[in-house]
Structure 1
């Protein structure tokens, strides 16, 4: 599909890549300086909802840059310009509700690298779109790199075809532990009470079961969550039959508070995990924030992360079905 929309012009950004003929991210800017105000942007989005949705799927990432988007309320208006339903975040990252559909992104220490992942990949229902807004760009570092997921599968199948198919056949089992209360000194420090929206253990177990996980209570008032079996890759409609690397093996394998193994209990070879980590980095697009940027990611097609950063850095997020 060729670009054709009078309400936007195509720009460029540092670090963009052309992957199989698709520019990632597709940068959309005001068609002229007089159209950079928020009202003009909202009108353009409402008038081109279907086209914009197709651009996000086609290019896997679309960046709105150069518009007057300054605060959470503006960002929420952009999210609500579409007919995408909200989906509540479930996961280990500490987050704070800001306004309507807007939350802070992971509030863990800025010095930490948040590893590449598909949002809520372990949960039965995950968002189709992750939308991010840069209110305060970091003075150094703090990029939100992302990776076309199908490229990871292609490379892994080329180098480890038997291991990939073995894991695919057996499925994956994950575990992670959480304390009772939030710990913002950790990028995976969200407590189970906040995660499940209750301090009642029986209710937490019911809600966990609905999400496809089993809970084991620990003596320190924490909990271990067990998930699986989960698939290694997934193929989603409308994305050219591509096998997406839809898992969090590298991010959770052999970590202190998490693990990723095959569902039958056998270990994934260390060299396979290490090489996968290298491939993900090689295929990454190192997206660098500018103030007012709004980045739409197709969560079914790209992994994303966060580079270590100097303060201040303020990126807000909304997740959509």
Structure 2
């Protein structure tokens, strides 16, 4: 990868040294050293190297580059030449607002709501390979985006809770959530079933759920309770390298609002309940391994969603962190493998 004039690899507060890699790998740029066209041109030329580095390290952080606006962030995304995964086509639980065809708000949940660690859309059959985050406005306080290397977490979990880790891998997981009839921005998982499924009518919703292999039940107040098919809890990203690719922590700890009870949100794929002590070990490991990205306006973070989990800390003031999803992938539980 040819270096860009004025750019360098940088240390960043809280950056972790995970043996053979830094997490995240960070780049900084001297103010005024390059133009946006130069930056996006370098990004396009370096695309394959950047994506390989994101997968190796889990995440790349860019600070000080000429990206003060959402359109600049959009230009960076386009320079990577990644297939867009539009929010409208996702099965995400979160309420989000599009700013460009590729960029939307990360989550509209209130600032006091903590969003727990998760791999984006691992609780659905469709997920993005990459996530890109961008800070338009940094909060007054708090509001960090914690990141965690899921491969390292799984290795430690397998050491400390071998039976639980093995059962997660051998049976997978099933997730249940209740979707409202209209978007509820008060909740971190308040996206309506109309929006989530991309449908207008209940008949269309039932047909879409059938295609996806979900079971479902209609509830009062136009709510829809849906349970996923058996989905993987562990992903082998390369031979011998496994990640804890799921939404176990988020579902168990955070899927709570007036419609949802975390105790009903997640089960092993065979229908049995999770060991609460083992779940808390996973929660604690994620926190121990976390890097908290403290946002500055203009920051960009590129995440390999199969390697690193992310979360959100509560905050005060105005915080505008935007996101983009790329390279839609599918996964299904393989009872043999």
Q: What TM-score, normalized by structure 2, do the two folds share?
A: 0.89
- Alpha-carbon displacement from aligned partner over 1:135-171 (angstroms, at most 9, x marks no partner): 0011100000010001111111111112221232222
- Alpha-carbon displacement from aligned partner over 1:67-110 (angstroms, at most 9, x marks no partner): 12122211111111122101133211110111121111100011
1:37 CA drift (Å)? 2.5
302-311 vs 228-237, which deviates more? 228-237
Q: Does 1:52 align with 2:50?
A: yes
SS in 2 for 1:300: coil
Query: Does the CA-based 8 Å contact 2:135-2:295 persist in structure 1?
Result: yes
The within-5 A match list for 1:1-321 is 4-7=1-4, 8-30=7-29, 33-88=31-86, 89-237=90-238, 241-253=240-252, 256=256, 257=260, 258=262, 259-321=265-327
Q: What TM-score, normalized by structure 1, do the two folds share?
A: 0.93
Distance 1:87 1:214, change over 3 A: farther
1:34 CA drift (Å)? 4.2
- Give the unaligned 5+ runs of structure 1: none
1: CA distance, partners of 2:169 / 2:210: 23
- Give the unaligned 5+ runs of structure 2: 328-337
286-295 vs 241-250, which deviates more? 241-250
1:252 CA drift (Å)? 1.4
Query: Does the CA-based 8 Å contact 1:120-1:126 persist in structure 2?
Result: yes
SS in 2 for 1:128: strand
2: CA distance, partners of 1:120 / 1:186: 17
1: CA distance, partners of 2:168 / 2:8: 44
SS in 1 for 2:109: coil
1:48 CA drift (Å)? 1.2
| Count of residues in correspondence between the two structures | 315
2: CA distance, partners of 1:253 / 1:227: 15
2: CA distance, partners of 1:314 / 1:144: 12
2: CA distance, partners of 1:213 / 1:73: 37
1: CA distance, partners of 2:102 / 2:211: 23
Distance 1:136 1:159, change over 3 A: same
SS in 1 for 2:291: coil
1:127 CA drift (Å)? 0.5
Query: Does the CA-based 8 Å contact 1:123-1:212 persist in structure 2?
Result: no
